[in-house]
Amino acid sequence: MAEFRKIGVLTSGGDAPGMNACIKAVVNKALSMGIEVVGVVGGYAGLMNGDLIPLTYQSVNNIVAQGGTMLYSSRCPEFKYEEGVQTAVKTCRENGIDALVCIGGDGTFRGATDMTNHGIPSIGLPGTIDNDITATDNTIGFHTAVETALDLIDCLRDTCESHARLNVVEIMGRDCGQCALYAAIASGAVAVAIPEVPFDEAAALEKIRTLRAQGKRSMIVVVAEGVTNPDGTPYAETLAKRIEAETGVETKFARPAHIVRGGRPVMKDRTLATAMGVKAVELLVEGKSNLVMCEIDSNIVPIDINFALITDRMYKNKLKDGDLDSFTSEQLGKMRTICHRRTEELKSLYKIAMDVSF
């Protein structure tokens, strides 16, 4: 058992609904174990600047239903450098912070592992709407983002039906099409383009022509933000123009962008956030760190951060020279299994989307 007097909690990177529920879980669990908690304001930038607030039962009262993050967030390029990490460690030492819980995406986990390596035990919790942390089935915020996207698409459907139009909708997700794919299936979209699966534009255009000829009035096409033209510009708008030009179906374009990152978290995100927050505190107290909490087959499972980060790179084909050197063949086998499972799940979901998109 580690003797912690005070832990810090921070949110970093893109915010996600459910982060507040997670903060509340960390605070209440730690306080119930006699551990003080400070909130780091504005992610790693706040840690470098010593921007801290004490957190009590009262400070986290009634935040569980609120979107965004009460601790605010930032992306902090300075923290990628040794000097930034040293400054953050100094803040922890000067303020008696014995350990950290860091809520965010892969950049946040890199920060957590740096802090652990510099003597501040840290645990990462996956908070991002993209659901792009390969080692966990679900990230905090993903389910809410899909529900929000769905609400918006349902609104577009109404007006498309009235006017016999098609609407192309771009849904956030930089490298990952999960939000777009789930929203497409759940909204009955006629086509969906995501970065992970090649998109057959000619087939989509042909399908739209056929469906219109058969009398279908409203149609939705969902495109993930991460699908781009060869010059890097967003594909969604290009596709909208092509659909109208090639099929004659009047086509509108919508980009909800950051709207899908806000709003009240749904039950799944609140409960996942709470379970992960509680487990993170328990593990820190047990003396464990450098872990990321994952949900695997409905269980909360701690995974080594480096293992999770490299599995992510493996899945996203972003491995760098030497990335795999420190892992045993058994660990590499596990990584490949996780990547394979994810790829197969996505492919089978994409097939379902195609099978029913009429």
> Which spans of this chain sit near ligand F6P (rule: CB under 6 A)?
14, 75, 128-130, 172-174, 225, 261
| CA–CA dist 232, 230 (Å, integer) | 5
Residues 6+ apart with CB under 8 A from 150: 183, 186, 187
CA 302-265-160 angle, to 5 degrees, is: 125
Q: How far is the CB of 142 from ligand F6P (least distance, A)?
A: 10
Reply yes or no on whether 137 is catalytic.
Answer: no
Residue nearest ligand F6P by beta-carbon distance: 14
Q: How far is the CB of 55 from ligand F6P (least distance, A)?
A: 24
Q: How far is the CB of 209 from ligand F6P (least distance, A)?
A: 32
3-class DSSP string for the chain: CCCCCEEEEEECCCCCCCHHHHHHHHHHHHHHCCCEEEEECCHHHHHHHCCEEEECCCCCCCCCCCCCCCCCCCCCHHHHCHHHHHHHHHHHHHCCCCEEEEEECHHHHHHHHHHHHCCCCEEEEEECCCCCCCCCCCCECHHHHHHHHHHHHHHHHHHHHHHCCEEEEEECCCCCCHHHHHHHHHHCCCEEEECCECCCHHHHHHHHHHHHHCCCCCEEEEEECCCECCCCCEHHHHHHHHHHHHHCCCEEEECCHHHHHCCCCCHHHHHHHHHHHHHHHHHHHCCCCCEEEEEECCEEEEEEHHHHHHHHHHHCCCCCCCCCCCCCHHHHHHHHHHHHHHHHHHHHHHHHHHHHCC
Query: Which position among 15, 98, 106, 130 bears the catalytic label?
Result: 130
Q: How far is the CB of 105 from ligand F6P (least distance, A)?
A: 6
| CA–CA dist 269, 20 (Å, integer) | 10
Q: How far is the CB of 306 from ligand F6P (least distance, A)?
A: 22
Q: How far is the CB of 138 from ligand F6P (least distance, A)?
A: 15
Nearer to ligand F6P, 28 or 139 (CB): 139
Structure tokens at 249: 């179906």
Q: How far is the CB of 293 from ligand F6P (least distance, A)?
A: 18
Q: Which single residue is written with the structure tokens 């992306």?
A: 75
Task: Give the active site residues.
Answer: 130
